[in-house]
Structure 1
Amino acid sequence: MLNPALLAVVTAAAAIQYELADEKPMPWPLAFLVAPLVLHRGTREVLPKTTRSHLGAWVAQHPVEHAGFALRAVSLRDPVREGVRFGISNGLLAVDTEGRLTGTLAAGKGRAPDRASEAGRIVAQAGFVGKWLAKIDQPATAFVMLGVAP
């Protein structure tokens, strides 16, 4: 699950949904929150069903997932960087002049996996997380809530 191609697709899915929700591209640091939220099965399975749930409330209701989050985020730092580089070099991700990520997933190159597969569920949840994170004004707020230093 830590291969650069999957991490690039996960980040692209989040960036696409973030931009649809916020009308601005996703700040690149948020890529480091998306992966640990969706790659860890236990966390992925207890993510809220709608974006109406506030991140702070979700953290308070899921202390077990929150307790291990910072360690997972730190351990995924290098794979996420590699995934972002892979995404940029293969046209799945682009960075604008403000350091925001845009994603592209289309038929053929960068196509999202079938939702029936584990990878497909991960990518679908990454899109949800992108949309969910768009509700937070500052990326640093999400980092603080999740106990990770930006």
Structure 2
Amino acid sequence: MSTPPTGQIRAPAAETAWNEPAALVAAMLNPALIATLLSTAADAYTRRHTSGMPWTLSFIIAPLTLHQGTREALPASTRTHLSTWISHHPVLRAGFPRRAQVLVAPVRTGLRFALRHHVLELHHDCLKPATRPHTTPPQETEMHDILRSARLIGGWMAENETAAVFAGLGVGP
């Protein structure tokens, strides 16, 4: 082990502890994961509107789905109206614009990945899944929660006007 210029001894365990959150964030922002959650949301949306999901909603779906606190606060079904849910969760709504801004670049990358690898198709500014999801992740895993949330949010978005969704969450397309 080499000594850093400051004379402090570097502890490998400390480096690992500091790198673990970065590795977790990198895994959550993986283009394939984002492509999968967008495809799942687009599938739920397309079941209600065959024209497809407006691609701009990708920038709403990802921050709602990837943020654990938001996922845990989501209703069990789309029977709860989006505006009602937003009004009951002012802290989540207040933090949403910042979370959405931070995810713009990863969502763009995930969209490009999805289109390039034929996970999603773009038709007249709307996304449609190229294929239906074939497998489901094991129950009680974070991946299962993310995809369940993406399906719920995709269905929820189909029940609301796109402009109203952006306005309600305090962001613009």
Task: Provide the residue aligned with 1:27 in structure 2.
Answer: 54
| TM-score with structure 2 setting the length | 0.80
In 1, the alpha carbon distance for the partners of 2:62 and 2:52 equals 17
Equivalent residues of 1:38, 1:125 under 8 A apart: yes
- Contact 1:115-1:124 at 8 Å conserved across structures: no
Structure 1: gaps of 5 or more residues: none
Give, as a single letter, the amino acid of the residue that structure 1 aligns with 2:38.
Answer: T
Distance apart, 1:141 and its partner CA = 1.2
Structure 2 stretches lacking a partner, 5+ long: 1-27
For 1:143 and 1:119, locate their aligned partners in 2 and report how far apart those are by CA, in whole Å.
26
Contact 2:42 2:154 in 1 (8 A): yes
Shift of 1:113: 3.1
> In structure 1, which of residues 125, 145, 148 is the aligned counterpart of residue 168 of structure 2?
145
Asked if the contact 1:92–1:105 (Cα under 8 Å) also holds between the matched residues in 2, the reply is: no
Q: Confirm or deny: 8 A CA contact 1:9 1:105 kept in the other structure.
A: no
- Greater RCO, CA 8 A, separation 6+: 1
Q: Which has the larger radius of gyration?
A: 2
1:60 equivalent to 2:84? Answer no
**2:41 aligned to 14, 20, 35, which one?**
14
Are residues 27 and 115 of structure 1, via their aligned partners in 2, closer, same or farther at CA, if it must alter by over 3 Å?
A: farther
Equivalenced residue count is 145
Give the percent of matched residue pairs that are identical in Structure 1 and Structure 2: 43
Contact 2:45–2:157 (8 Å) recurs in 1: yes
Task: Report the alpha carbon displacement of residue 53 of structure 1 after superposing the two structures with TM.
Answer: 1.1
CA distance, structure 2, for counterparts of residue 67 and residue 2 of structure 1: 22
TM-score between the two structures when normalised by the length of structure 1:
0.91
- Structure 1 residue ranges (4+ consecutive) displaced by more than 6 angstroms after TM superposition: none
